[in-house]
Chain A
Amino acid sequence: MEKSSVTIEIKQEVSIALLWTVGGVIAIAVPFFICLKPLDLWPSVNAGGLTAAFYVLALIIYATRGPVKRKTRVLVLALFGVVVSSLAYSWKLQESQSNWQRETLVEIRGVLGRGISSAVLGDTLLNTLQQFYSQSPQGRHSLGQVFKLRYPDAAVGMDLYKPQWPGDTLTHAYVGALTDDRVVLIGRDRVAKGRDPSFRNFEGAVGKIQERYTLTEKGLIRESDN
């Protein structure tokens, strides 16, 4: 490279650098905003990141052209390759990890929902059964009557679950059936989705976890509706 052209380049350096900066900002911001989605930042960040990789590559090619030694250029490009590969790996790993965490959180909620149904509804019915068998032979009440003694307001369709704290979104415990020899409680999760997304739940919700507990004098029958 001529000394004169190098001098020109040095004198124009600020303008060229600013031009590169402005160009880079536009090149990254435009795809970033084009790909912006209301609920997900990944498409924007991925588009911006991809453009950024090309920008830095172009910048390296520009900045390491002659009279910069070829050896330096190869070294910088090799380092760029290593950095970009590692960054791309971290990037994609973070994307799959965050999506996995999100899915897992929803799945955990489902496991918790079924466990809570089992504990809350199962215990409610077992306490009824215990009281039923603890009665004296004289003046025995039927299973349904014992349940009504324990829950005087109970009626088919009623939700027996009392939220434990403000904003408690754990479960509903609906009375599904109430006869002398049979009490059915239906546990419907308020949040967690069940196996079938189109399943019609007991009281009109759709697709939520639903567990059914039927108490008879012989014991407890557990069924998973959804």
Chain B
Amino acid sequence: MNQTIDPQNFDAPSEQEIPNSFVVKMLCLAGALLLMAKISEQTDAKGFLVPTRFVVSGFPYLYAAAQTVYNGLLEFSGREPGAVEIRLIVSALASLLLSFVIGPTAFFFSLRRYHLTSNHPKLPAGSSLLGMIITVPLVISVIPVAVLQYNGFHNLKRAQAEQFVKDGMIKVIVNIAQDARIFHMLPKEKGGGGGSYDRFVPSSQLKETEWSTFSVKTVDDALHITGTVTKNPSLRFGMGKPDEIPFGRISLTLTSAGDMRKWDYDGVFK
């Protein structure tokens, strides 16, 4: 190789660790990637799902997660899952390249340079700074993010399990209320209450479900329907212990006119 070697300069590298040209090129590449992600972000209304700050902080999987959840929302509202948009593709790729190519390359080349020369600069400059800005936050945050994510997923599952049980209990209470209305309006000779809820008993299917039990009580002319949790809702998603049954109660008052009044939610449903 036709390199000019100047042994006198060996321990006295230039003032900057890496020449400006390299830093400028890397910054241009990083800027271009960020610009591409930013421009494509403006092209539709899906931005609310995509946390744009992660373009630089380095979690590219968030874009794939956003797309998956967005497709779930589309299915929820009766539409077909949408094709992955260019904006998300560019953002995910930009995030991958910034976090795992540009940042680490600048950082580790600076690290090597630091070890190769004995005349260390007091402050990191140029490429070192670029590498550190991108790489260090990722390295520092990765463990807390994993812990937070685990807790977040766990809490989300528990909340969702409780919501499922709550929705199921509301449906059963509505069915009991409908049966009670029928009982109330049927004449006594047809097995009804003839204008009263007295003697009304929910059918055995509605008295007890997998997650809860239900009872009724006549108060004045109204009927008080109560559902109580009997099984840990978290078990629905394979979490929690069977003997840890949280307090959860839903009650409804059915007026003599057949109106559902005063829904009350206690315990985990509050």
Contacts and interface: CB of A to CB of B under 8 A. Distances in A.
Interface of A: 3-4, 6-14, 16-18, 20-21, 24-25, 28-29, 32, 36-42, 44-46, 48-49, 52-53, 55-56, 59-60, 62-64, 67-69, 72, 76, 79, 82-83, 86-87, 89-91, 93-95, 97-109, 111-112, 114-115, 118-119, 122-123, 126, 129-130, 133-134, 169, 190-191, 217-220, 222
B interface majority secondary structure: helix
B10 A98 contact: no
Interface in B71-124: 71-73, 75-78, 81-84, 88-89, 92-93, 96-97, 99-102, 104-106, 108-109, 111-113, 115-117
A74 to B, nearest CB: 14
B171 interface: yes
Contacts of A6: 10, 116
Contacts of B64: 40-42, 44-46, 94-95, 98
Given A11-B4, A169-B77, 10 more contacts: A17-B127, A41-B67, A48-B92, A55-B101, A68-B111, A83-B138, A90-B142, A93-B153, A99-B68, A130-B181
Contacts of B29: 21
A60 B109 CA distance: 9
Interface string B1-14: 10111110110010
Given A8-B5, A87-B142, A220-B182, A42 B68 contact: yes
Contact of B182 (A25, A48, A69, A219): A219
A10 B116 contact: yes
B174 A39 contact: no
B208 interface: no
A48 to B, nearest CB: 5
B210 to A, nearest CB: 14
A45 B61 contact: yes
A77 to B, nearest CB: 12
A190 to B, nearest CB: 6
A16 to B, nearest CB: 8
A79 B84 contact: no
Interface in B1-45: 1, 3-7, 9-10, 13, 18-19, 21-22, 25-26, 29
25 contacts: A4-B7, A7-B7, A8-B3, A18-B22, A36-B89, A45-B61, A45-B92, A48-B93, A59-B104, A64-B112, A69-B115, A86-B143, A90-B146, A95-B64, A98-B69, A118-B174, A126-B258, A130-B258, A134-B185, A190-B78, A191-B78, A219-B179, A220-B178, A220-B179, A220-B182
B186 interface: yes
A28 B145 contact: no
Contacts of B19: 14
A120 B75 CA distance: 22
B76 A133 contact: no
B202 interface: no
A29 B117 CA distance: 34
Interface stretch (B160-168, B213-221, B225-233, B243-251): B160-168
